[in-house]
Each structure stands twice: as structure tokens, then as C-alpha cells.
Chain A
């Protein structure tokens, strides 16, 4: 993230006012000089599943800001967009990354898009600065968790009840370190602060979060599958 670069994004949301707001906020913020900053280019906007898929395939952006609830498609909103865009690559020949945005913190909404393949999840009340950081992180292929999502992960993997994975590769439980990272994120810590607290590098924190994300996407843990089945996602 040291070299100045441009991240191209597409904003997908069915509320025109919200798109306009995000665009204005991000443009003004990305224009101000910051340390280790990247420049932002808003490549397109869309308000429904079909138009979103079309715009993403045309523009091949680095990151898509994706609303969880969208009209059109098979009725699964954002998850439909992610599935339809599977295999689409950005200009840098890496897969297009999705960052889910929602007004709702309800677990079933979040889990649907995460399991479809989104790299992160933030609520719409997030500050523009944090959103910019999250976009940069997702563009790098890392994961972004909101405190609420971290809390849900801890619940769903039984980490609160003391279940810990014996080996890191185990999909149905979190490792001790992953659990610590999730707990700190749930407490409202930024990645930087998590790293400081655990005496590890920010990169290591990102690795742990990505690993949790992978478990969240692939795990067949009962609670997750029940949700997914209920929403006909499997």
C-alpha cells in the first residue's frame, strides 16, 4: 500500500440517494492527501442485480461496494450479483472483490453475502474514512469484519463457549489466535490496535481475519448451514 495506485470501484445500491452520498464522500476524502493513500476512481453505479452484473463485467473494477438487499435476480440481492460475476477479473488480473454494505446487522443477511463470496461486511453507518480503509483492505485481498460480524462469528463457531480448533486447518472451529482477533474486533478495535494488543503485525491480523472469512465461507458448521439452508443458499 506504499506506492500510490488507483483503486477502481463500482457502487451497487438500489437507493440513488445513498449512491450519491457515498460517491460525494469518497471522492472528497480520497482527494485529500493521506499517508499511504491510494486514489479512488468510481467506475460505475448500478441499482439492480442485472444492471450491476452488466456494469461490473464492462468495467472490471477492483472493488464492488455491494448492497445486501437489491431488486432483481433470483431474489437473493447482493449474493446473486456475486454469483453472476464469478470468474470476472479486474484490470490487474485478480478476481473482482466485493465489500458488502447493509443497513441491517441481521446475521442471515450478512451470512448470505459472505458465503456467496464477499470479502467483507460493513454497515452503512460506517464513517467515510473507515469505508475508504475497508476498500483498500478488500482491494488487497484481505477481509473486513464489522464488530457485529465478529460477534456473530464467535457465536456461530462456539468460540464463546470455549471451543477451540486443535489444528488451524479445521473448518468448523476457530483457532485460539483467530478467536482473540475476533474478540478484539468485536470490542471495536481497528486492525492496527489489534496488532498492537497481540504483539503481531497488521499483516498477520489480516491473515487471521482472512482465514476466519474462509472458514465462514466453507464451514459446514450446523448453525451456518442451517441459515444457508433456510435461505436456500446451498
Chain B
């Protein structure tokens, strides 16, 4: 019940998300609640902050970007705002348990930017054009040089800012002050750029340790440079030693702490994964097993229905447990599905054994249909156990469908005769195969054979191959006379003509 309720609420969420985010017409300002403030993955240049901000405010992306750059020039305010937002904004798609109804869960999130800006701003085609132009640049940026570009931009902005500021104040430019600050900023950007572990196309990328090391080194150099301004080299070494000692001390003291935090995080993560898995399994069991059990209880008087329900449920559970979806599109999967269908329709279990496997094609499809028809005949007219064995060999696929009891009598059931002729024998022959029906003392066996080509084998060889290949198993028709036990039916073999 819990699972069901949860799923309903999720459906509701998706519904809401659709209404909020991707509605085709978006009234300009207050008509709908604002989209949440999240960083976008698609179409971002640095970290997606400007994109997210633009969507949240309902402004064009270009305007936001220009504003950020302009405000960076005097005092670096825009840069500070950018970095602050980068650190605090969630990225689209990151699941925040606190915001369970967040429309960001909708896959349409990033796409929503298009209509959003289109609704508010006539300049949106320009935005798109802009993105196309940037595509080549972005692919280059994605190769990990992003930080370099950011750095260069940062250096330029700071240099301009410094010159303007100091020049305006009538002061000399202090290189020994500016350079360490620049180094610190660059180092920090290097370091933090690795926090953002997605690239511009939204794909995950590994953390590059070299950037971390370079960033850390630059920052430390900058700090040291800032502190030792105006002192000589020997003192510099002392200060460097002091800084190093302090760092080591901090590292040693905080290491156990960080380790415990880390392991707690891992434990929590593992627990959450387990909980999700359990919820998945509970949902599956609820949908399948519990429903079937309820049905069985309600129909407990009807033995045939109960058996059919139980069998169908068993099959479904088996395919769930043994992950038979993995071999979708193969002969084995098609046969399993076909036999399941027959079982469902008639309630008679069919024992299916398949050895070898190969991908489906139209000829194999005909074979599956013929096997299905033969099995269908068996469950209707004969008595169980019904078994089907399909062997995929190097040059032919052979199928045997066997039943027990009286079997279907071709003479007394003329309709079925046509069905057998057309659906089994005719179908097999149209696809270059053969079909035989063997009457045995205790049942009937339908033997189907379909020659197949190896993928690298030329077409011609299969055209000559299927002419009349004898079945590898001893054919009773050829030995009927000498057979110690003669079958009740004098004609053990029936070939379509």
C-alpha cells in the first residue's frame, strides 16, 4: 500500500512538473510560480549559474551574463556573486529530499529554458544562435581547459579592476599585493572548478587531480606571498615552514574527523540505496504477487483458474528473479513468451527447454509461430505433460513439441487438420523448413526443422541445404517395419503435399 501511494504521489509530481515547467504558453510574470533556482546543465558556459538565474528571474540569459561581467569590473562583485551562487545553487537533477515536489525532477527541466525565454523576450532566437556559435568552443572547453579560460578571464577582469580602482584613487599599483591575490583567486578557481563534476553536455566527468594540486599550490603560494611581502628570503623559508607545519597540524587533527564524516556518508548512501531497492522490490511484489494471491483467494473454488493464475505468476516472478529481460530479442525469449501465452490461455503447463540461442529473424519468427500452434494443439486436444524442446544448432534450428494421451486425430477433426496443415506444415515450408507429425504409443510429437545460416555464410548454401535433410535423431518412419513396437497409427509420418 505504501508503495502504491508513493507512486501515485510521484505521478502527481510529474504532472505538476509538466504543468509548471514545460507548458507551451508561459504567462509573463506572476501567473505561475517561478521556476526554482537551479543550475542548468545543458547550454552552460561555466557552471550554469547564469542560465539558472535567467530562468528563475524570467530574463534572457545574455542579459544576465552581461550584467554579471559588467558588475565584475569595478570591485569584482559580479564574480563574488557568481562564485557564491555556484557554491550554493543545486544543479538540476540533483535530488534534494527536502524538495520532493521539485519540478527539477522533470526531465523537461533544461528544455524549459527555451520556451521560458521565448515567452518573455523577443531576443531568444539570438540566444540560440549564440549557443550554436559557441558549440565548437564548448567542445574544446570540455576537454578540461575550462579552468584555464576562466582563469584568463579572471586575470583580465582583476587587472582591469585593479588598474581602475588604484588609478582612480591616485595610488601606485602594488604588484606585490596584486600578484598574490591573483594567484589565490586563480588557485581557488582551479580548485573549485573540480567541484562541478559535470561537463557542459551534462555528462559526468572524473575529478582531475592535477587541477586540484595546481589550485592548492597556487593558493598557498599566493597566501605566502601576501604574508611575506617585504621580507627577505631566509624569513620566507621560515614562514613557508610555519605555514606547512600549520597545514600538517590541521590535516592531522582533522583527518579522523573527516574520515568519520566520510564513512558516515558512505553508510548513509548505502542505506539509501538499500531502501530504494527494497521499495522497488516491494512495488513489484505488490503489483504482481499480492494481486495474484488476492485473485486466487477470491476464486479458490475454481481449481483451473487458480492453477492458471499460479502458473502465470510463477513465470513472471521467475523472469523477474533471473532477469530474463536481458535476452530480449532472441529466439529463447520469443519462445518463452509464446509458451507463456499458451499457458495463460489454457492453463496447462508447458515444459520448455531451449539449448543455444540466436537473434530473431523472420524465419525464426515463423518457427516460433509454428511451435506455438503445435503447443496450442497439444494443450487443447492432448493431455499433459506437454513439453517443447528447441535446439539451436550450427546449421539448423530443430523444435520438438510432445504431448501425451490420445493426441489430436487428424481424421476426426477436419478443422484442425486445416489448421495444422496451414499453420504448422505450410508455414514451415514457406520458410524453407520441414514439419513432421509423429504418432507415438502415448502421444504425438511435432518435429520442426528450420535450416539457418551462419552470419558469414553466403546465401546460396542455404538454398541448397534445406532440400531434404534427415533429422539427426533416428527417424521412426524409416524403421517402422522393423520396429518392435508398432504404433497404433499405421502411418506414423505425415508430410504436407
Q: Measured between alpha carbons, how far is A127 from B389 in the docked complex, in Å?
A: 20
A187 contacts B356, C-beta separation under 8 Å: no
Find out whether the CB atom of B349 lies under 8 angstroms from the CB atom of A125.
yes
Residue of A nearest to B357 (CB): A155
**Given A183-B391, A187-B389, A188-B385 in contact, is the A197-B476 Cβ separation under 8 Å?**
yes
Least distance between B66 CB and chain A CB atoms (Å): 61
User: By the criterion CB–CB under 8 Å, are B393 and A160 in contact?
Assistant: yes
Residue B353 is within 8 A (CB to CB) of chain A in the complex: yes
- Measured between beta carbons, the chain A residues less than 8 angstroms from B474 are 180, 197-199
The reply to whether A186 and B389 form a contact with Cβ atoms under 8 Å apart is: yes
**A106, B322: Cα distance in complex, Å:** 8
CB pair A161–B393 under 8 Å, yes or no, is yes
Per-residue contact bits, chain B 324-352, to A (CB 8 Å; 1 contact, 0 not):
00000000000000000000000001010
> Does A196 make an interface contact (CB < 8 A)?
yes
Q: Which of A209-229 contact B (CB under 8 A)?
A: none
Note all chain B residues with C-beta closer than 8 A to A148.
Answer: 351, 353
Task: Point out which of A186, A188, A199 has the most chain B C-beta atoms below 10 A from its C-beta.
Answer: A188
Given contacts A147-B389, A154-B391, A161-B393, contact A186 B473 (CB under 8 A): no
Give bound CA distance, A221 to B385, whole Å. Answer: 33
Q: Are A151 and B393 in contact (CB under 8 A)?
A: no
B387 close to chain A: CB less than 8 A: yes
Pick the residue among B353, B392, B394, B402 that contacts A150 (CB under 8 A).
Answer: B353
Q: Are B353 and A147 in contact (CB under 8 A)?
A: yes
Bound-complex Cα distance A125 to B385 (A):
11
Q: Are B355 and A186 in contact (CB under 8 A)?
A: yes
Distance between Cα atoms of A162 and B472 in the complex (Å):
11
Interface residue? B354 (CB, 8 A): yes
A155: chain B residues at CB < 8 Å are 355-356
- Whether, in the assembled complex, A184 has its beta carbon less than 8 Å from a beta carbon of chain B, the answer is yes
Number of interface residues of A (CB under 8 A): 25
Q: Give chain A interface residues in 117-146, CB to chain B under 8 Å.
A: 125
Which residues 355-402 of B sit at the A interface, judged by CB distance below 8 A? 355-356, 385, 387, 389, 391-394, 400, 402
Q: Does B485 contact A (CB under 8 A)?
A: yes
Q: Which of B393, B394, B400 contacts A187 (CB 8 A)?
A: B400
**Contact residues of A: prevailing secondary structure:** helix
Residues from chain B with a CB closer than 8 A to the CB of A162 are: 393-394
The answer to whether residues A151 and B322 also contact, given A125-B349, A188-B402, A198-B474 and a CB cut-off of 8 A, is: no
Which among A151, A154, A161 has the greatest number of chain B C-beta atoms within 10 A? A151
Among B356, B442, B485, the residue within 8 A (CB) of A160 is B356
Q: In the complex, A80 Cα to B355 Cα: how many Å?
A: 29
CB distance from B91 to the nearest CB of A (A): 39
A179: shortest Cβ distance to chain B, in Å? 9
Within 8 A of A (CB), among B4-52: none
Shortest beta-carbon distance from A147 to chain B in Å: 5
A176-211 CB mask vs B (1 if < 8 Å, else 0) is 000010011011110001001111000000000000
Query: CA separation between A162 and B484, bound complex, in Å?
Result: 30
CB distance B391 to A188 under 8 Å?
no
Closest to A103 in B: B314
Q: How far apart sit A189 and B349, CA to CA, in the bound complex (Å)?
A: 16
B residues near A187, Cβ cutoff 8 Å: 387, 389, 400, 402, 445
Chain B 428-452 against A: per-residue CB contact (8 Å), 1 yes, 0 no? 0000000000001010010000000
A-side contacts of B392, CB under 8 Å: 160
Residues in A whose Cβ lies below 8 Å from that of B440: 193
A184 in contact with B356 (CB, 8 Å): no
A106 to B323, CA, bound (A): 11
| A154 interface neighbour in B349, B355, B473, B476, Cβ under 8 Å | B355
Q: Which residues of A lie under 8 Å from residue B476 when comparing CB positions? A: 197
Shortest Cβ distance from residue A116 to the other chain B in the assembled complex, whole angstroms: 22
Q: Which residues of B contact A189 (CB under 8 A)?
A: 402
> How far, in whole Å, are A101 and B356 apart by their CA atoms in the complex?
25
Question: Who on chain B is nearest to A182 by CB?
Answer: B355
Chain B residues, Cβ within 8 Å of A183: 389, 391, 473
| Smallest beta-carbon distance B392→chain A, Å | 6
A184 touches B473 (CB 8 A): yes
Chain A: minimal CB distance from B169 (Å): 74
Give bound CA distance, A69 to B484, whole Å.
44
Shortest CB-to-CB span from A177 to chain B, Å, is 11
**Chain B min CB distance to A163 (Å):** 10
A187 to B400, CA, bound (A): 7
B residues within 8 A CB of A106? 322
Quote the shortest CB–CB distance from B354 to chain A (angstroms).
Answer: 7
A160 contacts B391, C-beta separation under 8 Å = yes
Write out, one digit per residue, whether chain A residues 96-127 have a CB within 8 A of any chain B CB (1) or not (0). Answer: 00000000001000000000000000000100
CA distance A195 to B416 in the complex (A): 32
Q: Are A151 and B389 touching (Cβ within 8 A)? A: yes
B356 x A188 contact (CB < 8 A): no
With CB as the reference atom, state the residue of chain B lying closest to A154.
Answer: B355
Q: How far is the CA of A180 from the CA of B389 in the complex (A)?
A: 13
Interface positions of B from 51 to 108, Cβ below 8 Å from A: none
Establish whether residues A160 and B389, one from each chain, have CB atoms under 8 Å apart when the complex forms: no
Contact (Cβ within 8 A) A186 B353 = yes
Task: Give A152 to B389 CA distance when docked, in angstroms.
Answer: 12
CB nearest neighbor in B for A105: B318
Q: How far is the CA of A186 from the CA of B356 in the complex (A)?
A: 13
Closest chain B residue to A189 by CB distance? B402
* Alpha-carbon gap, A148 to B387, bound state (A): 10
Interface centre among B349, B354, B391, B402 (most CB of A within 10 A): B391
A160 touches B351 (CB 8 A): no
Instruction: Report B-chain residues with C-beta under 8 Å of the C-beta of A196.
Output: 484-485
Nearest A-chain residue to B440, judged by Cβ: A193
Known contacts A155-B356, A187-B389, A188-B385: does B349 contact A180 (CB below 8 Å)? Answer: no
Subset of 15 A-B contacts with CB under 8 Å: A147-B387, A150-B353, A155-B356, A159-B355, A160-B356, A160-B392, A161-B356, A161-B393, A162-B394, A187-B400, A187-B445, A189-B402, A193-B442, A197-B473, A197-B476
A interface, CB within 8 angstroms of B: 106, 125, 147-148, 150-152, 154-155, 159-162, 180, 183-184, 186-189, 193, 196-199
Q: Which 5 residue pairs of A and B lie closest in terms of their CB atoms, listed nearest first? A: A188-B387, A151-B353, A187-B389, A160-B356, A187-B400
